[in-house]
Structure 1
Amino acid sequence: MRLSNEAKVGLLVMTSFTLFIVLVGLLTKFNISQKGYRLHVYFGFLNDLRVGAPVKIGGGIKIGYVDEIRQTGEKTDVILWIDKGYRLSKAATFSIFTSGMIGEKYINVVIPPMSEDVGFLNDGDIKYGIDPASFDQMMQTFQSFMQDKSGAQILAEIFQNSNKFVANLNKMVDENRYDVRQSVGTARAAILTFSQQLQQFMQQMNVISKNMAYISEKNREDITITLQNLSELTSSMNKIAYRLEKGRGTMGKLLYDEEIYTNIRDASISAKELFSRLEKDPSLLLFKQKK
């Protein structure tokens, strides 16, 4: 019996769809793409935690998910699947948190700094989680607090003190209303004066800027000539410095020629000796010394 082309296409579509459903179920249930281990965490209150909720470290890094929830005695056993790449310390704590105000619930894992080697959690280990505080529980606590005489008295004292504080604040404002108005008026006048002075200053700066622009435009030619003269003077000074450095000219030879320097030094010494002898015997200037 031969199948028509339409039957073949239908059979192929049905087979592909069935395989897709099976693969999705396997990936969701058994997470065959990764390997991990399971932990049993006991809670007394789940706060609407559901199967498939993520498990995160520090509220950020996802390391697993809630695989199963079942009742065990007085506690609820929450079975967590943890990726094998994350080794959790035995000192780790497990809590139920909420993403944002009304977001999904998740298991938050906090690993405290280990002061000693306490080891790691293994497959099948049991931990006791920290129960979340529900809004109903908080309301019940507040209601019991209000029903208690001491709680109601404390709350009444708080309201009385608040009323006294508001009354004292109003009284202080009334007593210092004139001073406050005067201070505000003074500040307003100071701001107005400063604004006027600032406006005058800006006008003066505009005038100065216009004058500087006029002077610059008027004396542009003189400024250009002055700059050219300075450039030529600098060039001449560079040439003189170069000649002195190379020992050219009288000054250059005087600075760099050792022989000239020696002759000048010897002449200076001889002149010094001559003046010293004349100072001791001035007659040497008129009479020739006999040998």
Structure 2
Amino acid sequence: MKLSREVKTAILVISGILFLIVGINYLKGINIFEPKNEFYTEFDYNALTPSSPVTIKGNIVGKINSIKYDFETGKTRVAFSIDKGLKFSKDSKMRLYELGLMGGNGMAIIPVEGGTPAKNGDFLASEVEEGLVKSLTSNFSGLSSGLDDTLESADSLLVNLNKLIEDDSDKGLKSAIAELNSTIKSFKSLSYSFNSLISKNDDNLTAVISNFNKVSADLATLSADLKDVEISKTVKNLDQTLLSVNELLAGLDNGDGTLGKLLNDDELYNNLEVASQQLQELLQDFKLNPSRYIKVSVFGKKDKSGYVKPEDERQ
């Protein structure tokens, strides 16, 4: 049998509604598929809703089914269902209590030990717990006096704030706002000038950034090259070279070798000084009497003059 589109839509909508009802009750901790017993109680006034929970020791075990006003007794009759697995005495009481400041009200089972077990359809006694709202109502006089002081302080604060706003002196709020406005305008003008400077020097800034990027790339290349250099080996070779130089200088200082003896032998220095003096005298004599060393005679006459030391040795 082929179902029409309308029937399929209706089935889908009904399934969605049922799923929504089951999901909402599941989130509340209520399983609608579990067998339940229905009980009744009464209150002087109605402070419940059909969605209010029924709890025992803080655990949700049921829900309120219906709330009706009894015209004969003038009380509110409440019907609620409890899981069949819960066993409690018929003498237990149903307490009306607040779930929270904004959470509404609920009913709690106050179990009594012993007695006849409660059965489906039984009527249970009720009581009302003094909650937060009732406590606040009983202490409203104290709160009102404190509220008066608070309102008086708030009024003084508003008066002082109004004086501060209307003050036209340098210490007033108007002056401060005017100075703040002037500062904002100056900052805005500075921002425009800065933007104009950037736009005019855009090419130069681009060139500077390009040069900086190039320098950074060169430094990166140099860092890579330095990384490949065996600096420790170079330093070790330099240290060995300096050690050799130190040994050479120490040998010279101790008179080792030819150069060391030249630097440290005083007798050799004196001999060299005497030889230098004699060589100087020989050159002077050769300069003054070349005929003694070069024999050139046209007529065969010999020069019999002796060596005469000049008064000035530089001649």
> Normalising by structure 2, what TM-score?
0.43
> Normalising by structure 1, what TM-score?
0.45
Q: Which of the pair is proportionally richer in helix?
A: 1
